[in-house]
Amino acid sequence: MCMSMQEVSEPTKEEKAVAKYLRFNCPTKSTNMMGHRVDYFIASKAVDCLLDSKWAKAKKGEEALFTTRESVLDYCNRLLKKQFFHRALKVMKKKPEKETKKEKEKEKEKAKGDSSKEEEKKGKKEKEKKKESEAGESKKEKSDDSPGTPKKKKEVKKKFKLEPHEDQLFLDGNEVYVWIYDPVHFKTFAMGLILVIAVIAATLFPLWPAEMRVGVYYLSVAAGCFVASILLLAVARCILFLIIWVVTGGRHHFWFLPNLTADVGFIDSFRPLYTHEYKGPRANSKKGSDKSDDKAGDSAASTKAQKSDSDEKSDSEKKDGDEDEDEEEEEKRQSDTDSDRREDEGSQHSNGNDFEMITREELEQHTEEEEEDEEEEEETQERKEGGASETKPQTAET
């Protein structure tokens, strides 16, 4: 019996290795149990973790330790019996009755207020749906941000506490198991060893060689100068901010190295180089406009109705403008036709006058030609008469 008790109580090297692997690779969470801070894990995740481990793969000449989920459950029951962890029970924390009653009353009041508002706005929303469907995405976003739209409730995490379970068995599922085995991680062991060595080396500083001591001295001076420069920068940036803020009357907020004293990394503390914000009348006007937009959310229906009326008026005005433009075009066409007619008449008159001028010129030419013809005829007749008179004495002489 004593031998059997020793075998159960003392874990083997393999069991310690499996438990250590499970302790540092299985996802865990922390909570309070019996006034102590403890780490716990879920059974299904532990089974999945061991099935992905090296013990689930067969080696040369050896079989795999974990082949199925049932084999993992059997092995975890052995670890539970050897007190690597124990089973716990989740108990949800209940709120006092007074708080629950107050919350219920508040929820009822909110539900009544929301129902009354929704009933009033249902009729308006039905009329606005057609117009909102035609509107762009920007209008849709504004309508979604309006106070009438229902908001999603935030998911509240339920608080619970752990208590020891009566049945200490390892079962696959959402069962909770609290870790008892807490080995030292290799990283913590290495960090502790380095810290001890550094302390011993610092105490032996007088025995160091002269060159090393001079180098450490210069390094310490450089580190001190660096820290002092950061402190001076932090003070100087505040002074610069105050000067710009006073000179501009609080309108310009200029920060040099804004993340210098923020809770960020070493490189991020020097990014960005500066930031500038203008908080003058423009910002105030924007805030006022935002407030007016929030107030206008309740009267969205009335404003949209006014917009529709204005759209109708603008449409009617556009129609009247189009009619006026048509009348003007008709008048222009009439004026153009009248001017064309006048031009035609003028061209006809001018053509008549030209015809009269042409006829006169032709008549004068004809008269001149007739006179010339008559003169030629007279000359020919005189020549004939002179020739006849010359021929008569010749005949007489013959």
Ranges of beta strands (E only) in 80-202 are 85-92, 160-164, 176-179
Give the tokens for residue 364: 């004068």
Burial of 47 (0-12, 13-18, 19+ CB in 10 A): buried
Tokens 């793969």 appear where? 57
The rounded distance, in Å, linking the Cα atoms of 9 and 24 is: 22
Q: Cis bond leading into 272, ω under 30°? A: yes
The Cβ of residue 179 has, within 10 Å, a number of other Cβ atoms equal to 18
DSSP calls for 23-82: HHHS--EEEEETTEEEEEEEHHHHHHHHHTSGGGS--TTS--S--SHHHHHHHHHHHHHT
Other CB atoms within 10 A of residue 28 CB: 18
State if pTM tops 0.85: no
Residues 6+ apart with CB under 8 A from 275: 253, 254, 255, 258
Give SS3 for 221: helix
In angstroms, the CA 317 to CA 322 distance is 8
Q: Along the 398 residues of the chain, how does pLDDT read in single tens digits? A: 343 444 556 889 999 999 999 999 999 998 888 888 889 999 999 999 999 998 888 877 778 888 899 999 999 999 999 989 999 988 877 666 566 666 677 777 777 666 666 666 666 666 676 666 666 555 444 444 444 444 444 555 667 778 888 888 999 888 999 999 988 888 888 999 999 999 999 899 889 999 999 999 999 999 999 999 999 999 999 999 999 999 998 889 999 988 888 888 888 888 899 999 998 776 445 555 555 555 545 555 455 555 555 565 556 565 555 656 666 666 666 666 665 666 555 555 444 444 445 556 666 766 777 777 777 777 777 776 665 554 444 444 43
